[in-house]
Amino acid sequence: MYAQLVETGAQRVRGTDELEGQERVFQERIDAGVKIEPKDWMPEGYRKTLVRQISQHAHSEIVGQLPEGNWITRAPTLKRKAILLAKVQDEAGHGLYLYSAAETLGVSRDALIAQLHAGKAKYSSIFNYPTLTWADIGAIGWLVDGSAIINQIPLCRCSYGPYARAMVRVCKEESFHQRQGYDLLLALCNGTPEQKAMAQDALNRWWWPALMMFGPSDADSVNSAQSTQWGIKLFSNDALRQKMVDQTVPQAEYLGLTIPDPDLKWNEERGHYDFGAIDWDEFFNVIKGNGPCNRERLATRVQAYEDGEWFREGLNAHADKQAARGAAAA
Amino acid sequence: MKKEWPLWEIFIRSQHGLAHKHVGSLHAPDAEMAVNNARDVYTRRNEGVSIWVVRSADIVASSPDDKEPLFEPSNSKVYRHPTFFPMPEAVKHI
Ligand SMILES: [Fe+2]
Ligand SMILES: [Fe+2]
């Protein structure tokens, strides 16, 4: 997802009855569905895990602007351009909500951004794929934001108050993202054969990376078990992925597009779609920094930050001057 | 940037005559930029007609440890709620 393979530091998950003192009180609050707030006592592992998870999520929102931002100047109509601008601007907002939530845990946004720019922080694998055609912008909204919604809706109920509240804001805005993508693809699929072929090509390239967003099966993962006990992970990777497949297949059918998976078929008994094996080597390769666009994404991000330096300096100088004037007048 | 920008808490009043409500926080070098940034970050969909920004450092908050002494006393005072007083059926408009 927007945060993948989040480390918790746990070797083994201890049940509530095995815990003592403050840690027990803390776990009982979580078990009772009471939100944890910034000034409350929390185990160091919980704090660190949340910093990792929320900052990765924030980085994903920010880096996630790049593949789409790439098409703003080339949108086919003024209307589509305005819509895409608004969508990309929303993602900047999502990043900011999330950095704010992370900061309540005692890290600074500047430090988190420095980690990202130094290549020491993770962000979602999905944003390391290129946007080759206009149809990719549709595929991202439909599949990537669609998957993000499936992941983020449960997080609105997660145990950490500031993260849950940030997710509520994000989810309110996310539905527009998915719909504008689907709407864009509908237009292409109702257009010329070339346009429809472009939509099919985008689906072919984005389908598997979108399924990989949910991360490998975590049925046996200690980290996931710990995050589940802490109430910061509410469904398994496989359950969320299945939900994505089940809801997306009929949407693809409506578009008249074919999902690039020969093993995809409805399983009457399970009441779900079966689907083919995912190439996890590709996923780990992208995570390690060797995806098609990892280097380019990071370089673009750093460049944007450096290009803004003169402006930030100007704002600082103005603020200092105003403060000095205020002090002189007082 | 050498200097870290201070954190501001943002309060927005919506159209419907309600009080300003805390919506989140952001960094800005001064109050004026905090208002500008709050416009972009928190009112992209007509969420408000008025913005307050307050330096986070200027907010004094109660501590979680004081929860009991602060809020416990009101728990036992159920007579502060109108439902504490059952009214006879025959009595109207009360
Ligand atoms: Fe987002
Ligand atoms: Fe989005």
A138 contacts A188 by C-beta, under 8 angstroms = yes
Those residues whose C-beta lies under 8 Å from the C-beta of residue A127, and which sit 6 or more positions away, are A60, A63, A64, A66, A67, A293, A297
Confidence of residue B2 (pLDDT cuts 50, 70, 90): low
Displacement of CA A294 from its chain's centroid (Å): 16
**Which whole number is the average pLDDT over B80-89?**
94
A321 and chain B: CB distance < 8 Å anywhere? Answer: no
What spacing in Å lies between the alpha carbon of A306 and ligand 2's midpoint?
25
Domain count, chain B: 1
Q: Residue A177: count other Cβ atoms within 10 Å of its Cβ.
A: 25
B46 and chain A: CB distance < 8 Å anywhere? Answer: no
Instruction: Report pLDDT digits (tens) over B4-55.
Output: 899 999 999 998 789 999 999 999 999 999 999 999 999 999 889 999 999 9
Query: What are the tokens at A133?
Result: 């055609």
- Domain annotation covers residue B2: no
Q: Residue A312: count other Cβ atoms within 10 Å of its Cβ.
A: 14
- Domain annotation covers residue B38: yes
- What ipTM score was computed for the predicted complex, to two decimals? 0.88
- Domain annotation covers residue B25: yes
- Domain annotation covers residue B93: no
Sites in chain A below the pLDDT cut of 50:
none
What spacing in Å lies between the alpha carbon of A148 and ligand 2's midpoint?
7
| Domain containing residue B77: CATH number | 3.10.20.520
- Domain annotation covers residue B46: yes
So what's the pLDDT on residue B1?
46
- Domain annotation covers residue B73: yes
Instruction: Report pLDDT digits (tens) over A126-161.
Output: 999 999 999 999 999 999 999 999 999 999 999 999
CA distance A60 to A116: 10
CA distance A283 to A217: 12
Residue B77 predicted with pLDDT over 70: yes
Q: Which of B77, B74, B28 is nearest to B51 (CA)?
A: B28
Overall size of chain B counted in residues: 94
Which residue range(s) make up the domain with B48?
Answer: 7-84
Contact A323 B26 (CB under 8 A): no
- Domain annotation covers residue B12: yes
Side chain identity at residue A139, one-letter code: A
Residue B12's SS3 state is strand
What is the value of pTM for the model shown? 0.93
Contact B44 A312 (CB under 8 A): no
- Domain annotation covers residue B49: yes
Side chain identity at residue A24, one-letter code: R
